Amino acid sequence: MDTSRLLRTTGTALAAAGLLLSGCTSDGSTASRASASAVRGTTPSAQPTAVPAALRPYYEQKPAWRDCGVPGFQCATMKAPLDYAHPESGQDIDIAIARRPATGPGKRLGSLLVNPGGPGGSGIGYLQAFAGIGYPASVRAQYDMVSFDPRGVDRSSPVQCLTGPGMDKFTQVDQTPDDEAERARLVASFKEFAAACRERSERILPHVSTVDAARDMDMLRAVLGDEKLTYVGASYGTFLGATYADLFPARVGRLVLDGAMDPSRSAIDMNRDQTAGFETAFRSFARDCAKQPDCPLGKGGPDAVAARLGEFFTALDAEPVPSGDPARPLGESLATTGVIAALYDESAWPQLREAIAAAQDADGSGLLALADTYYEREPDGRYANLMYANAAVNCLDQPPSFSGPEAVQAALPSFRKASPVFGTGLAWAALNCTYWPVKATGAARPLTAKGAAPIVVVGTLRDPATPYKWAQALAGQLDSGVLLTYDGDGHTAYGRGSTCIDNAINTYLLEGKPPQNGKKCT
């Protein structure tokens, strides 16, 4: 899978459903652009004085809240037009929403919408597993905690592609092809994936862009009864939030964009940037591993540790080891995914050391378990639709990174320079959108949200999936961007142990006071 564009945010280590594969910015489909101009007015950041007549029935919905089956949470379904260019067509999709009412005491501040990233992460799963119970008590006391599954995701008209066995096969395809036959098998796997998505999800595939999801968010804001949007988005959720702000700058309340993406970067540049980000994260792991008595990659500096990991992957490429599942031995592709999964959160480093050591002793179950968490594979062999929605959104939001295998081959030196360990695999993984059945409708461009209230952009110095320079870029592009920096490891910063970061964001959410631009925390 396109791990080079999968961004993940975790509420607890490798647990919450914030598996985010991305790096795309969207200018909207032809349909989205047409409807966006109707809402925006004549300038890119114009604010509408009224909702277009054709959209009013959607904006005026009243949610029928019901029990979710999870204590403390309520669920509902919101209708949205399938195609925003033709809302009068009567073709709708269902958008699943959920909330946990403010717990009090204190003044209720409205709704706080959260998004874990992706694209493809279930907002409802994230809300119920983490945000609705794990955000600071002071925040949960004054806000209704709210989320939704974006269109195409999980409970909201989900994109469907491969079957479970088909996905098992797909995740094992060699993504570091050594000869023409292996390259042909890899290309065939991408074509089979795309064909399955077209066969099972043709109706929705053209309508799952980030612009579409941002427009759904504005509708949700109105349905919840909020004049302005208060929002915390992580990883890809920062792009979704920035897109919303650019579309509806006057409706921006308090926005936190944590683990920020740079919407001005092309798909290939973002893939290369992420490759370098994983290299940075791995080198942090390598330095720590070399200090531990149980480091399975030996002593020495990061280069020496990286060389041994490379040798480990090469051995698995030649001869996979048993994993406890006869149909899925641990080969290089699954092992690489397992390592990448653990790099999202430094609290998983001990688990990664143990898993690598076990695989060296012919037990691949630990790394397979990490890979399964990354892919959201259940023990019974079913997969969540994360990877399917992820590809559908990414491949619509931007043109593909590569035109074909020859273009990948030409780019390999730059990817290997970005990461000697992961560069080859992540370059080939970026071929996935090349064969997508729906033509891309978006393009890389800066998002300015001119006239919006202050927007807090958070960047982590050694973030593996969203390199710090992306946060710097987004904060600079946004007309009202405020940069908050976390000097730490792992993906995203809020709720990860920095009192300085948490206090700054809590103060902003509760009092409306953003941190000083350029503030740095450890």
C-alpha distances in angstroms, 303 versus 284, 291, 360, 415, 461? 11, 14, 20, 17, 20
- Nearest alpha-carbon partner for 281 in 233, 351, 339: 339
Among the listed residues 463, 489, 498, 502, the single catalytic one is: 463
376 three-state secondary structure: coil
Spatial separation of the C-alpha atoms in residues 130 and 200, rounded to whole Å = 31
CB neighbours (10 Å) of residue 152? 29
Based on the residue annotation, tell me whether 246 is a catalytic residue of this protein.
no
User: What values do phi and psi take at 457, rounded to 5?
Assistant: -110, 125
Spatial separation of the C-alpha atoms in residues 258 and 238, rounded to whole Å = 6
Asked whether the beta carbons of 507 and 228 are under 8 A apart, the reply is no
234 three-state secondary structure: strand
Asked whether the beta carbons of 274 and 21 are under 8 A apart, the reply is no
Residue type, 505: I
Residues 6+ apart with CB under 8 A from 42: none
Asked whether the beta carbons of 422 and 336 are under 8 A apart, the reply is yes
Among the listed residues 419, 491, 498, 502, the single catalytic one is: 491
Asked whether the beta carbons of 398 and 25 are under 8 A apart, the reply is yes
Based on the residue annotation, tell me whether 235 is a catalytic residue of this protein.
yes
Tokens representing residue 503 in the block: 């206090």
Tracing tokens 């599942």 back to the chain, one arrives at: 325
Spatial separation of the C-alpha atoms in residues 24 and 263, rounded to whole Å = 7
User: 327: exposed, middle or buried (C-beta count within 10 Å: 0-12, 13-18, 19+)?
Assistant: exposed
Spatial separation of the C-alpha atoms in residues 212 and 205, rounded to whole Å = 12
Based on the residue annotation, tell me whether 207 is a catalytic residue of this protein.
no
Terminal alpha carbon distance of the chain:
33
Q: Is the dihedral of CA 336, 122, 95, 54 positive or negative?
A: negative
Annotate 203-235 with b (16+ C-beta within 10 A) or e (fewer).
ebbbbbbbbbbbbbbbbbbbbbebebbbbbbbb
Asked whether the beta carbons of 162 and 173 are under 8 A apart, the reply is no
Q: How far is CA 160 from the centre of its chain?
A: 18
User: What values do phi and psi take at 57, rounded to 5?
Assistant: -60, -35
- Nearest alpha-carbon partner for 116 in 241, 25, 19: 19
Tracing tokens 């202050």 back to the chain, one arrives at: 454
Asked whether the beta carbons of 394 and 23 are under 8 A apart, the reply is yes
Among the listed residues 32, 122, 235, 419, the single catalytic one is: 235
User: What values do phi and psi take at 327, rounded to 5?
Assistant: -80, -10
Task: Catalogue the active-site residues.
Answer: 235, 463, 491
